[in-house]
Structure 1
Amino acid sequence: MAIRTENEDDETCYVIDSLEQIGSQWRLAVLHDLQEGEKRFNELKRSTGASSRTLSRVVDDLGEMGFVDRRLEEDAPVATYYSLTEKGESLCPVFDAIGDWAKEWIAEESTA
């Protein structure tokens, strides 16, 4: 739950609340990576660089919050697959906007 002051408007509170849900390094990495489509646990582990323990905690948290679906395939070899829910997919334009911003402002700072 976000800590709010009396002077903050509702829009600011929504931004803070949303960053508390998705704002960690590992949550952002997983959500961004799953934009490409469904992935197995080990694929996510390789692409994000997270440890097994960290990744397990993150995908569980994202699942509980409704951003990620988990699918277990029990045929040999047993595999767990993760994909974005509709709620998770709704973040794709946000990632695009952040990417555009970073290209303009972060790249500009690097060349300055």
Structure 2
Amino acid sequence: MIDKAEIRKTLKTFNLCVPFFIAMSDEYRQQLIMDIAEAGSEGINVSNLSAKSKLSRPAISHHLKVLKEAGLIVPLKIGTQIFYQLNLKENFKTISELIKSMEKILETIDDKKKESK
């Protein structure tokens, strides 16, 4: 039987990952993440993101809000402009924990299958 504590831990980790999964489920947000990554440590503003995309500025702003709320990007105000930078480490750490928990559960299932043969 799978350890109940491991199940609870995995469910909590899944819940922590939900904002990431929702944010990254959209192809436009995936492209925005790549455009922000390409901009490097300086970041990129909405005007420059708009020039790289077929999306309107309001649409880009909406997608940036979703990414920001998921913790995937951070705004950096310089003068009157806001530049967006990647902030992925915490999200990837949580996803890595989820993968490890799932692997542990799968190993338990595989072990049980071998024992029953």
Q: TM (normalized to structure 2)?
A: 0.53
When Rg is computed on C-alpha atoms for both structures, the one with the higher figure is 2
Q: How does 1:47-86 map to 2 (within 5 A)?
A: 47-74=52-79, 78-86=80-88
CA deviation profile, 1:18-43 (whole Å, cap 9, x unmatched):
54330212111101111112112111
1:31·1:88 contact (CA, 8 Å) conserved in 2?
Answer: no
Gaps of 5+ in 1: 1-9, 91-112
Secondary structure, counterpart of 2:62 in structure 1: helix
In 1: Cα distance, 2:70 partner to 2:25 partner: 13
2-side partners of 1:81 and 1:48: how far apart?
16
Question: Is the contact made by 1:33 and 1:48 (CA closer than 8 Å) also made in structure 2?
Answer: no
For 2:48, give the aligned amino acid: E
TM-score scaled by length of structure 1: 0.55
Number of aligned residue pairs: give it.
74
Deviations 1:37-87 (A, max 9, x none): 21121111111221111100111110010000101122xxx2110010133
Higher normalized helix content (fraction of residues) = 2
1:56 alignment partner AA: S
RCO higher in structure (CA 8 A, sep ≥6):
2
Give the whole-Å Cα distance in 2 for the aligned partners of 1:47 and 1:89.
26
CA distance in 2, matches of 1:22, 1:56: 15
Q: Is the 8 A contact 1:68 1:88 kept in 2?
A: no
2:44–2:85 contact (8 Å) kept in structure 1:
yes
Matches within 5 A, 1:1-112: 19-36=21-38, 37=40, 38-74=43-79, 78-87=80-89
